A and B are shown apart, each in its own frame.
Chain A
Amino acid sequence: MTLWLMILGMVIVTYSVRLSVMAWLGGDGLPPVIRRGLRYVPPAALTAIIAPALLMPEGRVDVSPGNLRLIAGVVAAVVAWRTRSMLLPIGVGMVLLWVLTAVAG
């Protein structure tokens, strides 16, 4: 039950954001400062999720070579940057993590 209420909440906030300018505000749209600020949501939100996943896989910051997820993630970032592909970095990162885990283990 609580989980369905949570979904309802997620639907309300997500749908409201999607409807906001298109169906409710209409006209001239957003004030420029909000429009500019929103441009930074994707880089900020994505990096805020990536950073702990790569740098603190065990709950504390680990930049040693033993942090296999950091190595795989950095390589995936380079692949993403050079190829602009969506799938290649995911494939390369995953395979690299498996190989490194097998070698280290």
Chain B
Amino acid sequence: MRTRRAEFLSGVRAQLPILLGTSPFGMIYGINAIKAGLPISVALGMSLFVFAGSSQFIAAQLVATSTPPGVIVLTTFVVNLRHMLYSASLAPYVRHLSQLWKYLLAFLLTDEAYAVAITRYQTDDELPADQTNFHWYTFGAGLTLWVSWQISTAVGVLLGAQVPESWALDFTLALTFIALVIPTLRDRPAIIAAVSAGVIALAAHGLPYNLGLIAAVLAGIITGLLAERNIAWTSERAT
């Protein structure tokens, strides 16, 4: 069994290379939030407490177009629904922990921390009895990301006003999401889900308050599930 300290430190180390990608992202969030007219305290507060990059980006953009707060919260919910999958995936590994630990790890549960943690849990060949201190690894990874997210947001907030409009930095949101979406298009149902969500998002763009986004995500989930079932049927008939 490895000590808590050793687990914590190797969690920190595993997270470090990922900071190369998340730090510019956090900085650009800070810049965009200021450009969108958010007060400095609110821009920083969102990073401190919500700690969910893509939804923070979207929220800043929606505030700029004076979307009502309720719609922004609903959009955040839909965009962050994917975290339920991470929560379910980690559940068996944290079952033995106290409720306090679960609340702590859940707060730090982001795409990047999940990716690091699940790799550790799944590739480990130690006996289950030796996994006692794994949660310290997850905590180390999550805390590293949280701290660096605060720093990079603060840098972006400080730069915010000085970045000229002509740099078109708002485009980094679309580019970041492109880099994130490509690896998720693993199979045909996922591609069908993405395409139908994209089409609905374009068609429903005129809807008030960006509600088209929510409609698009729901349409994507439903078509993805239908495509999955269809493929299952077809392959059953073929065999």
**Residues A21-38 near B (CB distance < 8 A):** 21-23, 25-26, 29-30, 33-38
Question: Mask for A27-54, Cβ within 8 A of B = 1, else 0?
Answer: 0011001111111111111111111111
**Residues B2-23 near A (CB distance < 8 A):** 20-21
Query: Which residues on A sit within 8 Å (CB–CB) of B83?
Result: 14, 17-18
Task: Count chain B CB atoms within 10 A of each CB in A30, A52, A81, A88 and give the residue with the most.
Answer: A52
Report if A23-B106 is in contact (Cβ < 8 Å); known contacts: A41-B81, A51-B201: yes
Report if A52-B202 is in contact (Cβ < 8 Å); known contacts: A10-B72, A77-B178: yes
Of the listed stretches B85-93, B119-127, B148-156, chain A binds B85-93
**In whole Å, how far is A93's beta carbon from the nearest beta carbon of chain B?**
4
- Which of A10, A29, A50, A97 makes the CB contact (< 8 A) with B55? A10
CB–CB B182/A3 < 8 A: no
CB–CB A101/B168 < 8 A: yes
CB–CB B217/A48 < 8 A: yes
CB–CB A61/B180 < 8 A: no
**In whole Å, how far is B58's beta carbon from the nearest beta carbon of chain A?**
7
**In whole Å, how far is B206's beta carbon from the nearest beta carbon of chain A?**
9
CB–CB B220/A10 < 8 A: no
Query: How many residues from B make CB contacts under 8 Å with A?
Result: 89
Question: Mask for B182-215, Cβ within 8 A of A = 1, else 0?
Answer: 1111000111011111111110010000001100
CB–CB B87/A21 < 8 A: yes
Query: Which residues on B sit within 8 Å (CB–CB) of A26?
Result: 91, 95
A34 to B171, CA, bound (A): 33
- Which of B99, B184, B185, B213 makes the CB contact (< 8 A) with A48? B213
CB–CB B181/A46 < 8 A: yes
Instruction: Jot down 12 A-B pairs with beta carbons below 8 A, ordered by A.
Output: A10-B73, A13-B73, A13-B76, A14-B52, A17-B77, A25-B91, A29-B88, A40-B189, A41-B221, A43-B220, A47-B194, A89-B182
Chain A residues with CB under 8 Å of chain B are 2-7, 9-15, 17-23, 25-26, 29-30, 33-56, 59, 61, 69, 72-73, 76-77, 80-81, 84-90, 93-94, 97-98, 101
